[in-house]
Chain A
């Protein structure tokens, strides 16, 4: 067997290798001085690093999480069966109605200001049918020409 590389040695020392592989390494290390020394170094470092212990007691957050969870659960349950009394719903209805009225009035005012002061005249002939303009058709539109072609005699139509 070839020498054990650093990566495999780390896994071996950390005890995360499958048992069959670990046994194979154990046998190799027993018979190989170079790997035995490297193993010893790696294991010493591993054990030295283990000296840094951290004690999280006094910093637990589970109770806080549990309280938040319970609060959220009770809020949700209360939310499902919550009925707003009729008397409490009146101010809300009034506010909604006022908001709608304000929106309509505001829209109306804006519409007034939005209108341009002078609308361009729709050209029509002196004797031209006023109902064309009244209907909102433009003189130059194809439709108007079509209508006038049928209704007026040649020469009466403006270009």
Chain B
């Protein structure tokens, strides 16, 4: 299982602030992001991605590990 956290406008789209996903072996971060994008249609939303509290490149070939926590962090603009 991995946990995915959503923030800001991304959480508006997913309608939840976190969810736990079961994952098949050898699931890459890129594949996860692709699946989430299909599920929630993030479209023009931009966000950075963190794995275990560290921002990583969305195109990195990282393979997800059991109990990883992924976070989707969009920029905020209010002030």
Q: Do A and B come from one complex?
A: no
Binding site for B on A (CB under 8 A): none
Binding site for A on B (CB under 8 A): none
